[in-house]
Structure 1
Amino acid sequence: MYKILFSLLLVLNFTYANFQKDNIEAKMGNTIDKVLMILKDSNLAKEKKAEEIINLMDPIFDYELMSRLSLGKQWNLLSQEKKDNFIKIFTEKLKNSYVEKLDLYTDELVEILGKEQPKANRIILKTQLVGKEEKYQINYKFYEKSEDSWLIYDVDLLGVSIIQTYRKQFSGFLKDKTFDELVTFLRDKNNSNK
């Protein structure tokens, strides 16, 4: 399961963020080798590898939308200050989760299987992580942020949405705890990973 989680961001090493509908597959394909080169570079420390990859992928993730979707209805009850704070903390959690998995890379390959467009403003890019013994399907969900400019708002691993998983966890937490307690919990988790 850790290898599957690691693969979440494996192919997302992008040098520029202007993803258009017709070039999503090509840009993904053109950047896989760059990611693999960073991961295979024995001269780079783990932290440096993470920094280089995260800096390059940040522009194509809509962390604000991911944060909002992960909280569901709770989002609308928050002040702008609390929303901004949550975006920051949740984004850090996503990145920490990725960094923790870097050591699990063992020469897996990523294949792009194609894309589908279930709605006019949604695209699902289907990829596959190919290991020595197993294959795992990973779907990246894009939406049209502005005219023909697309960003990732969710990732499905084996049919399971990362954002829906967080939404269920947060909803369960908030049944008997406050939003501020959730923020404190996430902040403490983030700090423990530093």
Structure 2
Amino acid sequence: MLKRLLLPFLTVVAFSGAAHAQSQDASTPDGLVKAVVSDVMTSVKADKDMQAGNIGKISALVEQKILPNANFQKTTQIAMGRNWSKATPEQQKQITDEFKTLLIRTYSGAIAQIRDQSVQFRPYRGSPDDTDATIRTQVINKGEPIQLDYRLEKTAQGWKVYDINVLGAWLTEAYKGSFNTIVGQQGVDGVIKTLQDRNRQLANAKN
């Protein structure tokens, strides 16, 4: 279940094609998304090992180019919903850390599929005073358009992505139902255990 819900988030970058955004201004939300997509695609297309699923290189790429531009604590907090306040600070940290680990471990399969996809960015008409923004895009994969929207928050460290919309479904909302069910049955520790178990499965599959 968790892998199925996570894959759309992973394919956002894996299927986002060359955006021709090398000179984009990353201080704006649309500029940041375009710049990150372009940077990741350039790196992957130049490295056959990553295209073949090399987990070490992919992990380094994610750590260097994607995670600094994402706010996974906010993503996790929204996905946990009312259950976030039931978790202790240590549990909150564990859930957020396991979520990031799951992203990196699962990412190898998605990034290996990068080929000739392209992305179209819809016009962004935000105000300089905005602190929250939605960047709407459409990925063309073998002629088929896939809706992919990014939700970002302006922080003291700049704009950060905290949610993804795939074909009309926000990632945090998909996770919210899954996490809520697990907490109802097993408590907050159940979410941690579920994420840890999935991470172990993925780690063993790579060995």
Query: Quick one: which amino acid aligns to residue 101 of structure 2?
Result: E
Counterparts of 1:116-135 in structure 2, within 5 Å, are 116-117=125-126, 120-135=130-145
Counterpart selection for 1:173 from 167, 182, 200: 182
Query: What's the Cα RMSD here?
Result: 3.1
Residue 116 of structure 1 contacts residue 124 of structure 1 at CA under 8 Å; is this kept in 2?
no
Distance 1:151 1:193 in 2: 27
The TM-score normalised by the length of structure 2 is: 0.77
Aligned residues: 189
Residue 95 of structure 2 contacts residue 191 of structure 2 at CA under 8 Å; is this kept in 1?
no
Q: Are 1:145 and 2:155 matched, yes or no?
A: yes
Deviation per CA, 1:77-121, whole angstroms, max 9, x where unpaired? 221111111111122123333333122323111222222549942
Q: 1:183 maps to which residue?
A: 192
SS of the equivalent of 2:155 reads strand
Distance 1:153 1:72 in 2: 14
- Report how far residue 161 of structure 1 moved: 0.4
Q: 1:57 maps to which residue?
A: 66
Q: Which runs of 4+ in 1 moved over 6 A?
A: none
Query: Quick one: which amino acid aligns to residue 61 of structure 1?
Result: A
Residue 124 of structure 1 contacts residue 141 of structure 1 at CA under 8 Å; is this kept in 2?
yes
Counterpart selection for 2:105 from 87, 91, 96: 96
Richer in strand (by share)? 1
Query: Quick one: which amino acid aligns to residue 40 of structure 1?
Result: K
SS of the equivalent of 1:143 reads strand
- Report how far residue 50 of structure 1 moved: 4.4
Residues 69/5 of structure 1: CA separation in 2 closer, same or farther (3 Å cut):
closer
Residues 111/174 of structure 1: CA separation in 2 closer, same or farther (3 Å cut):
same
Greater shift in the superposed pair: 125-134 or 96-105: 96-105
Residue 129 of structure 1 contacts residue 137 of structure 1 at CA under 8 Å; is this kept in 2?
yes
Structure 1: unaligned runs, 5 residues or longer: none
- Report how far residue 42 of structure 1 moved: 4.8
The TM-score normalised by the length of structure 1 is: 0.82
SS of the equivalent of 1:104 reads coil
Structure 2: unaligned runs, 5 residues or longer: none
Percent identity reads 15
Q: Are 1:7 and 2:11 matched, yes or no?
A: yes
Q: 1:109 maps to which residue?
A: 118
Distance 1:27 1:91 in 2: 20
Residue 10 of structure 2 contacts residue 110 of structure 2 at CA under 8 Å; is this kept in 1?
yes
